[in-house]
Structure 1
């Protein structure tokens, strides 16, 4: 019997009828309960004290009149269109948070493509065979700066947002971002070129820390507030936002490419301050996560926040009751949760799946594709042409990702991940083989391969990975698990972004298209890991996912498992 259904306080007069239970007050100090079978029993004195305490909390009184044995309508796996109509405010808040991810994509392209802008090359570079280039060491360091900062920010955010809340974490990230952009913008002032390069690196690292905080906080918030029917599609907006950011950044870089002096690239740097202002404004507008407030014992505020998110089309109290039930079930297994808890017992498997999902973009080649404008120049393509191709590829990827959101609402994450990573393996083989030759045709073929890969993975592994990140970890460990996943993702990017220029830069390995062979191995590894370890969690509630992990269900049996965990 639900413990909230069989208690009444002396302050409640008359009788209260719930779905299955009638509670009647006795005039004496004892309390009588009429159960389903019509039998009565007295509450013990110890129980009456608990009743008195609980009855003073309006949320507890409200929850006691609802039934947790029925799965609420909002938890059903609704079609995408119907789910959007049923949860308009949740969709609006989650869409607004993708601005954080837009900033991430924008920053990646600014640092990745600004090195292809001629005035920037003149100010920060050096002559190599009568041509201005950025030394490969600094290209590697700058490319690794944002991922390095994001790794630091992800770890910090996993701890910080559990201490101070999702909203204040957003606010803090916005402030740090403004500081980092200032370092980038004013890096041209020192007279010594090495100091200029170092200040630019420091500014990008600080900005990366801010983006790590903002990204992990946004993903935690979205995964906690989005219902089952919207969870995959909303989390799948992360790569969409990333691509939109890259598109905006590419357009800006293209426009400033022919500027005669540093004014052009300074405009590109300064525009990033907008990406610090917007998250700060959002932190004032968006309600705090009900799951965070409930975890902190602030039930009244949690109910108020839940109403702001779900009412009036959905019963906010029922949504919150499901959150309460999940948190209560998890508390026993994750008491005193720390980062170490994420690697204990069944949580180890869940954490490693999140880590694997975070590594998917690095495996299919996102880091190289994001820098394709400069990469294509190293194999013979003109600067303006490479920037146009980058913009075209991002537009194609954005549309593909839009299709991917619909695909995820229909097809499982495991299936689309396996298919898209397998196709990408074949495409990278073709790119690598083409690199054996040199010439304009090879550059265009390589560009076509990169665009094809971003389309394929934009519909598959990329959005699927974020859906997996948002549904795998337990509610109580979600912030910390997202932080660990962020460290894995950015740590891999640090390594890859540092090594890639050493492979393809003219003053280093000069591999050209043969760089694609690196991703043949990484994509094949992604296919193997997904086949053996990636479970199918489409359409599953938080409690169902918890149960399947608790009974140690093999990954390939998740899709077929059936059980009534909710009513139990």
Structure 2
């Protein structure tokens, strides 16, 4: 059966053979230009038919992030979990309940984030050395081993060490998934599968909320051991599948392994895709890689390079987009079981609201996929989402004047759920998609790592402060905490307006040139650039098979 648009054929073209060791620049540019034109013209449904294999592998790799979302939600909600609080906390006469002290809440809440910070940083080196596939497989094995520590933890100190160690592979998964997806998918599918990483994070939170809601009345140690044990399921399922995953063709080209890159492209495309189309896709990757080397004037892919020249601006954007998720109130308003308890809701009400809120978050991401992302630009979505969350945080703070009234407390809880929906319709989705396309392809992995580590740093600070804000043994500000986050959200809104560019519909080469030309962020969408007209003038010879030392 014929497949729609199966062979990006050109009737006026000579038979295409494998690219030779030295290919004339004009020939390479011609092939790359055809691939770029097809990439820009491709619609979502035909692209899915032609690239369903690439979608599958991006889908599976991103599922590793489910584990980080699961554990993040797990620990934050364990604080109000009776069995966990009794095992690792102390009795508080004021509230009549067992409580973890604010310092230990902050310590445990940040433990996996600290590990993830160093894991992500290490990932920038590991991917350059070993490639995406081997790093993911090794991280899955490491996580399976580290989970024994948290499962058998007999003290809060041992639990802390186990969480830090588990954070290492989680940091790797969180930074490798969007980068891998952005390198194996065409332009029309890029934002969907990079933001799928966010959906995996939410799925993990939803599973966590469901598991906790089912065990909240269990007073034995198994009430918190079972949730830890559930995490072994993912390495067991994902490792054997990912043994067969193709390596990123962009990584292979950067390493001079062009024929292997061609093999990966064959595996990522529909089986009936013609050799001419594969050659053109490969030519576009090589063309983009050469363009970046010319713009950067060197082949270095060190972290230091991310802070030099135009790359510094790109690194700033990736960092602020990720950090913006925390600065707009994530620690306060998302997965807020402990906050629900602090304003007087019962444990059952708090956990039911948490499950409902997480389900609403997942539904919101689907709504964003279907009704928002196809029709609005990245900048527009992020800007208006930040504005909406700022307003909601202000309303939550105002309502706290009557928080002793049950209806007012319930209204605050409902507003946090609305905040969650707005967050996942906008900032939550794009915080994963934008960093993966903002950085240059040669520095993409490290740009994503720096952006995600900016998130971890801000998250650590927020997680230290938040328990003090709402803990009855500390500042006990309850809903007034939202005024603090509203101020940070307002500052984030100002930054977005002046500094966040529009990248929707732009190829990596176009983004490279827009940054190289110093185009202002508010003018990205309207600026016209022809990457092939500019690069054609250079008339250089491309050494395709040259192995690169990084």
* TM, length-normalised to structure 1: 0.86
For 1:398 and 1:321, the matched residues in 2 are separated by 38
Q: Which of residues 408, 411, 419 is equivalent to 2:373?
A: 408
Question: 2:165 is matched with which residue?
Answer: 206
Cα pair 2:288 2:508 within 8 Å, conserved: yes
Q: Point out the structure with max Rg over C-alpha.
A: 1
2:399 is the alignment partner of 1:452: no
Report the Cα distance in structure 1 between the residues aligned to 2:160 and 2:33, rounded to whole angstroms.
56
Question: Partners in 2 of 1:274 and 1:106 — Cα distance?
Answer: 12
Deviation at 1:278, TM superposition (A): 3.7
Paired residue for 2:177?
218
Q: Which runs of 5+ in 2 are unaligned?
A: 1-9, 537-550
CA–CA distance in structure 1, aligned partners of residues 461 and 263 of structure 2: 44
* Displacement after TM superposition at 1:283 (Å): 3.0
Q: Does 1:101 align with 2:87?
A: no
User: Structure 1, residues 124-168: CA drift from partner, whole Å, max 9, x if none?
Assistant: 111101321111111111111122111111111111111111011
Q: Is the contact between residue 70 and residue 566 of structure 1 (CA under 8 Å) also seen in structure 2?
A: no
Q: Match for residue 305 of structure 1? A: 264
Q: What is the aligned residue count?
A: 514
**Greater shift in the superposed pair: 273-282 or 421-430:** 273-282
Query: 1 or 2 for the larger relative contact order (CA 8 Å, sep ≥6)?
Result: 2
TM-score, structure 2 length as denominator? 0.89
Task: State the secondary structure of the residue aligned to 1:566.
Answer: helix
- Residue in structure 2 matched with residue 142 of structure 1 by the alignment: 108
Aligned to 1:176: 142
Q: 1:78 aligns with which of 31, 38, 42?
A: 42
Deviations 1:188-233 (A, max 9, x none): 2xxxxxxx11111111111111100111111211111121111111
Measured at CA, do residues 251 and 344 of structure 1 come closer, stay the same or move farther in structure 2, by a change above 3 Å?
Answer: same
SS in 2 for 1:235: helix
Contact persistence 1:167–1:288 (CA under 8 A): yes
Q: Match of 1:493?
A: 459
Structure 1: how far apart are the matches of 2:20 and 2:411? 70
Are the counterparts in 1 of residues 341 and 350 from structure 2 also a CA contact under 8 Å?
Answer: yes
Residues 413 and 467 in structure 1, CA contact (< 8 A), matched pair in contact too? no
Conserved? CA contact 1:109–1:249, under 8 Å: yes
Give the stretch that moved more between structures: 273-282 or 226-235.
273-282
Q: How far apart in 2 are the matches of 1:143 and 1:169?
A: 26
Q: Does the CA-based 8 Å contact 2:333-2:416 persist in structure 1? A: yes
In 2, the alpha carbon distance for the partners of 1:118 and 1:558 equals 52
Deviation of residue 20 (structure 1)?
A: 7.3
Alpha-carbon displacement from aligned partner over 1:256-276 (angstroms, at most 9, x marks no partner): 111131112111111111233
Helix, strand or coil at the partner of 2:302: coil
Task: Note if contact 2:35-2:280 (Cα within 8 Å) is conserved in structure 1.
Answer: no
Q: Deviations over 1:305-347 (max 9, x none)?
A: 1110123355222222111111111123142221000011111
Task: State the partner residue of 2:430.
Answer: 464
Contact 1:160–1:169 (Cα < 8 Å) also in 2: yes
Could you tell me which of 272, 275, 278 is aligned with 1:316?
278
Moved more, 298-307 or 267-276: 267-276
Give unmatched runs, 5+ long, in structure 1. Answer: 1-16, 24-52, 189-195
- Whether contact under 8 Å (1:289, 1:302) holds in the other structure is yes
Decide which of 272, 289, 292 is 1:330's aligned counterpart: 292
Where 1:127 maps in the other structure, the secondary structure is strand
Question: How large is the Cα RMSD of the aligned pairs?
Answer: 2.4
**Cα displacement (A) at 1:73:** 5.5
Q: Residues 70 and 64 from structure 1, CA distance in 2 versus in 1: closer, same or farther, beyond 3 angstroms?
A: closer
